[in-house]
Amino acid sequence: MNFLRNTFAVLLGLAVAGLLISLGVRLNSSWITYDGFSAFQKWETVLQSMQNKPYFFVALLISSGIAATVGGVVTAITVKYAKVAYAILIGFILLFLAMLDIIIFPYHPTFYKILIFLTFFPFAWIGGKITEVLYERKKKRLKRLQDKK
């Protein structure tokens, strides 16, 4: 049963992260000039048109960091044990997908290719640590309440 729960948690964390990255790309309406919600359907066209506009990639890095953190938190909340480890797994999967994106579409600037390594894994780890700290505080609070009784 834990395997199904953990698999669901990872998929849920990836879905949340993908949604947040997609929303981050749609942040500025001048970046996306076509109808429809998903930026990933016409990703190559978006990257080609933004090749000389570094602020798009800065926004993409920021939204990726936020998405990795929130995806890590969602995953860590959903799994029962090894919360930080599963949040880190989210970071590795997102980093792998970002590396595929960089390999398949050669339109990314150099600073993005470098900083993407420093974005997904650490921010997903931070998301897992946030959840772990909150759960530890909750345990301590419950223990104090039980000791008072």
pLDDT tens digits for 98-114?
A: 999 899 888 889 999 99
Q: Which domain holds residue 51?
A: 2-148
**Type of residue numbered 61:** L
Model pLDDT for residues 60-118, shown as the tens digit of each residue: 899 999 999 999 999 999 998 999 999 999 999 999 999 998 998 888 899 999 999 89
Number of folded domains that form the chain: 1
Instruction: Specify the amino acid at residue 12.
Output: L
Average pLDDT over residues 53-60: 85
The whole-angstrom separation of Cα 40 and Cα 59 is: 16
Do the Cβ atoms of 123 and 70 come closer than 8 Å?
A: no
Query: Which residues lie closer than 8 Å to 124 by C-beta, 6 or more apart?
Result: 68, 69, 71, 72, 87, 88, 90, 91, 92, 94
Q: Tokens 């909150």 belong to which residue?
A: 134
